[in-house]
């Protein structure tokens, strides 16, 4: 039986190795270096970083208080709202992007935003909006589970020494939840860096305008520029691998401190 389990393990590892090898043999190292410093690649890297970091920061601002309310407070309809907030997790990015496209379009919010010369569609701001929508539910789920693991006796200890609700949250709860919040942040950042479907629908695919790394892969693959496409793919793979290593390290560190 154990041998069968090891066989399954090796099949999973070899399938991943096969995909990575197939990407590696398409381009040599010198070509990767050359395309890595190309203006289009640098633009895609910069926009991906700006959009993903901005999206995760907005998601943290929205997600942390939402997660705390769900974890610590009871209110009418909580079960329904909790389930409602999970809907983006089961929606495909393409459907999310389509919904945002209609929501921000001229028939709905767009006609009001245009009065202030604000237009999110087919711009880098649209990429941030799309990625924020993807990142926020991940932040909420991660932070909520972290807040639920913190014993409420720490809250009461803070109240007994005269701290307000805000002071208890800022001085006690947030420091205790930092590893969980950081893990959720890394997970959301990893997800937004590689986000394609929603970004494509909302921001479009325009070179040197809305060209994130996934969009750059799409544009160059369809136009036959394999070198830039594969280089951008490797940037995503390496950055994602580093972020996931960091996430796992935080998990092991958190378990180690429990003993």
Which domains can be identified in the chain, with CATH numbers?
Answer: 37-257 (1.10.3720.10)
Beta carbons of 44 and 177 less than 8 angstroms apart: no
Residue 48: pLDDT band with limits 50, 70, 90 = very high
pLDDT of residue 63: 94
pLDDT of residue 257: 56
Q: What is the pLDDT of residues 77-132, one digit of tens each?
A: 888 999 999 899 888 899 999 999 999 988 888 888 888 888 888 889 999 999 99
Q: What is the pLDDT of residues 233-250, one digit of tens each?
A: 999 999 989 988 888 887
pLDDT of residue 252: 66
With vertex at residue 138, the alpha carbon angle to CA 133 and CA 142, rounded to the nearest 5 degrees, is 150
Burial class (CB in 10 A: 0-12, 13-18, 19+), 29: exposed
Mean pLDDT of 207-225: 90
Per the structure block, which two tokens stand in for 63?
């997600």
Per the structure block, which two tokens stand in for 7?
């066989």
What span, in angstroms and rounded, lies between the C-alpha atoms of 167 and 170?
Answer: 5
pLDDT of residue 10: 93
Of 11 and 179, the one with more pLDDT: 11
pLDDT of residue 258: 55
pLDDT at 26 over 90: no
pLDDT of residue 80: 92
pLDDT of residue 179: 85
Mean pLDDT of 209-227: 90
CA 205, 207, 208, 211 torsion: positive or negative?
positive
SS3 (DSSP) at 225 = coil
What span, in angstroms and rounded, lies between the C-alpha atoms of 81 and 75?
Answer: 10
Of 122, 5, 6, 146, the residue nearest 64 (C-alpha): 146
What mean pLDDT, rounded, does the chain reach?
88
Per the structure block, which two tokens stand in for 60?
């943290």
pLDDT at 259 over 70: no
Beta carbons of 213 and 193 less than 8 angstroms apart: yes
pLDDT of residue 213: 93
pLDDT of residue 46: 94
What span, in angstroms and rounded, lies between the C-alpha atoms of 212 and 243?
Answer: 18
Mean pLDDT of 51-68: 94
Residue 64: pLDDT band with limits 50, 70, 90 = very high
């Amino acid at each position: 039986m154990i041998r069968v389990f090891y066989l399954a393990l090796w099949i999973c590892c070899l399938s991943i190795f096969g995909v990575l090898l197939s990407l590696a043999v398409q381009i040599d190292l010198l070509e990767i270096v050359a395309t890595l410093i190309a203006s289009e690649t640098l633009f895609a890297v910069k926009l991906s970083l700006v959009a993903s970091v901005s999206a995760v920061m907005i998601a943290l601002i929205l997600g942390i208080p939402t997660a705390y309310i769900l974890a610590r407070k009871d209110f009418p309809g909580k079960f329904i709202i909790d389930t409602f907030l999970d809907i983006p997790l089961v929606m495909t990015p393409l459907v999310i992007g389509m919904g945002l496209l209609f929501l921000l379009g001229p028939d709905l919010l767009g006609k009001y935003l245009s009065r202030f010369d604000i237009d999110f569609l087919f711009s880098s701001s649209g990429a941030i909006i799309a990625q924020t929508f993807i990142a926020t539910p991940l932040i909420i789920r991660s932070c909520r589970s972290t807040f639920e693991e913190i014993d409420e006796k720490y809250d009461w200890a803070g109240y007994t020494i005269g701290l307000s609700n805000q002071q208890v949250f800022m001085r006690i709860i947030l420091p205790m939840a930092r590893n969980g919040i950081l893990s959720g942040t890394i997970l959301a950042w990893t997800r937004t860096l590689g986000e394609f479907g929603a970004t494509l629908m909302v921001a479009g695919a325009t070179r040197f305008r809305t060209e994130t790394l996934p969009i750059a892969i799409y544009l160059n693959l369809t136009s036959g520029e394999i070198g830039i496409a594969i280089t951008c793919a490797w940037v995503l793979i390496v950055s994602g691998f580093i972020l996931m290593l960091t996430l796992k390290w935080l998990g092991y560190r958190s378990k180690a401190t429990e003993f």
